[in-house]
């Protein structure tokens, strides 16, 4: 009868150790995932504000696309002024 009780004790010990290891692994995973989820939530809350700021920046800087045209026109004007000055002897 002692051998039977001993065998029953060792078989449940394996289960207890297995469950304990499993619980520890789950707790470690939860401890690693929860901060990531909280950070993602924080980023998600700020994303609309960031998007609005970027859209405003796009609207504010859109006229810069025409800067090349303005520079080309300025070069033409300056060249014309230089020709006029040269003709006037200056």
**Boundaries of every domain in the chain:** 2-64
The pTM is what?
Answer: 0.48
Q: Sign of torsion, CA 5 6 7 12?
A: positive
Phi-psi region of 89 (alpha: psi -120 to 50; beta: other; left: phi over 0): left
| Tens-digit pLDDT string for the chain (90 aa) | 444 545 555 578 888 999 999 999 999 999 999 999 999 999 999 999 999 999 999 999 988 888 999 999 999 999 999 999 999 986
């Amino acid at each position: 009868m002692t051998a039977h009780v001993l065998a029953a004790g060792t078989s449940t010990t394996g289960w207890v150790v297995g469950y304990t290891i499993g619980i520890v692994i789950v707790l470690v995973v939860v401890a690693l995932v929860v901060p990531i989820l909280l950070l993602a939530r924080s980023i998600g809350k700020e994303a609309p504000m960031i998007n609005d700021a970027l859209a405003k920046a796009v609207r504010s800087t859109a006229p810069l696309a025409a800067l090349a045209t303005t520079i080309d026109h300025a070069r033409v004007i300056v060249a014309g002024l230089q020709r006029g000055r040269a003709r006037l002897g200056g």
